[in-house]
Amino acid sequence: MDVTVAEFIRRTVLKVPRSHIPALLQAWGFLPAARLQALDVRPLKEAIAEAVVQLCQENSASIKEAAVLDIVYNHTFQNKRVWTVYQMTKATGGETDIFDFTAFKRKFKRRIQSSLINVTINFKEFEDNAIWIRIAWGTSYTKPNQYKATYVVYHSQTPYAFISKSINRSNLPLLCQALIVASNYGDIREMELRSHCLDSLKDIVFKRYSQTFQTHHPKPLQERNVAPENVDPRLIQEDKSEKERIQRVNQEVFGDGPQPKLEFAQYKLETMFKSSPKMVNVSERESFRCLVKFSSPHLLEALKSLAPAGMADAPLSPLLTCIPHKARNYFKIKERKGVLAAGLVSP
């Protein structure tokens, strides 16, 4: 077994929290189950990593297996990376094709390797039909750098790809081209949607997030663990109807279920400064540049709880609530043409 491969496996195992090591190695599926059972995970992590490398040596692991281990690691700890959504479009509204994974892999590899020889490309398909692609980039003269790989997650027959943020931005055009060639699309563009939580990004673009739709038939009731409020009968809720209104409006906007997890939303204002006519000193023509960034461990849940907590009026501004619907969390707000009111301008 190659020394670099052994070192790569060792370092990957070292990154994994001890409690996750057995599950991860099992998901990898390379080492025989009997040997994994015998693996002792009590000693120091260095010792475990050494034992795993030993096992890999016995099974003569190659860079291919090591790369798959890396994919499994990144799949398990996908929230460690920042994911950007890319949207692909077809020039003509062609028929939905029958996606063949083998053909996809072949086309993808061929497109990249025709431009760059020193790359390691690996694929792994997961249970939820997600295809994970790992590309370790090299240059014409240097070997691929296994430690700075780019990860792409693609679901067959969807026009979206999720690409991990990486330093190798120079290779991004090549990667995008390979993607559209392999998946039979015509064009690709970066969406203004980024998050650590890959699953939430998928929920947003695949329209799986909680939305409220009006229907006549009642939905099956959901169990809710609401503790019965210990209400003093002498207390009278003065704003009961208002609270109910807020509850209703909030539910219409955000739906019942949990919100997709985003960490930030950014609004870039490029609007004119508006003031009373007396303040003549301010130049009217000067645009008022400003950047507003909302950040939270769970932004949409935070926005959802603003109105019920009494910190904002319900309903919230559509600029804040349109995030999942518009599938973007980076906005540029410009002056509407001819109208003074600020409007949302799509690119």
Partner 1 sequence: MAEAAAGNPEEGVLSRLEKLEARARALALKQEEAEQQQRQEVARLRARIRQLRRRRDELKGKVSLQQAALGRREEATSSGAEPVPTARVQERALLQWKVETVEAMLRVFYLTGISGKLTERGVCFCLSTAYDGNYLDSYYLDIVITQPVRIHRHSVPIFIPLKRIAAKYLQTDVRCFLATLSAHLNAYVGRKYQADYLQKHFSAFLGGHWQKNSLYNMLAFNYDVTTESSTFPFRVKLLYGDLDRSLPTEASVSCKEDVPASLLEKAATHSSLFMNMALHKAFDTFRKAAETPDNTEGTVPHWAGQETFLTAGMGHLRFSKSQATWMREIGTSEHQAPGLCHGQLYLAPEH
SS3 call for 298: coil
Q: Does 156 bind partner 1 (CB under 8 A)?
A: yes
**151 versus 160: smaller Cβ distance to partner 1:** 160
**141 versus 213: smaller Cβ distance to partner 1:** 213
**73 versus 154: smaller Cβ distance to partner 1:** 154
Instruction: For residue 303, count other CB atoms closer than 10 A to its CB.
Output: 23
Determine the Cα–Cα distance for residues 343 and 347; give it in Å rounded to an integer: 13
Determine the Cα–Cα distance for residues 106 and 121; give it in Å rounded to an integer: 11
Q: Where does this chain touch partner 1 (CB under 8 A) — which range of 46-54, 214-222, 282-290, 313-321? A: 214-222
Residue with token string 């209400």: 231
**204 versus 265: smaller Cβ distance to partner 1:** 204
Q: Where does this chain touch partner 1 (CB under 8 A) — which range of 134-142, 187-195, 210-218, 280-288? A: 210-218
Q: Identify the residue among 129, 237, 251, 295 touching partner 1 (CB under 8 A).
A: 129
Burial of 279 (0-12, 13-18, 19+ CB in 10 A): exposed
- Three-state helix/strand/coil letters over 230-242: CCCCCCCCCCHHH
Q: Does 158 bind partner 1 (CB under 8 A)?
A: yes
Min dist. Cβ of residue 113 to partner 1 (A): 23
Min dist. Cβ of residue 146 to partner 1 (A): 28
**257 versus 310: smaller Cβ distance to partner 1:** 257
Q: Does 206 bind partner 1 (CB under 8 A)?
A: yes
Burial of 224 (0-12, 13-18, 19+ CB in 10 A): exposed
Q: Identify the residue among 98, 226, 235, 236 touching partner 1 (CB under 8 A).
A: 98
Q: How far is CA 339 from CA 88, 272, 335, 336, in A?
A: 33, 11, 7, 5
Min dist. Cβ of residue 128 to partner 1 (A): 10
Distant-in-sequence, close-in-space partners of 14: CB < 8 Å, separation ≥ 6: 45, 46, 49
Number of residues that bind partner 1 (CB under 8 A): 25
User: Which residues of the shown chain bind partner 1 in the complex (CB under 8 A)?
Assistant: 93, 96, 98-102, 129, 155-160, 205-208, 211, 213-217, 325
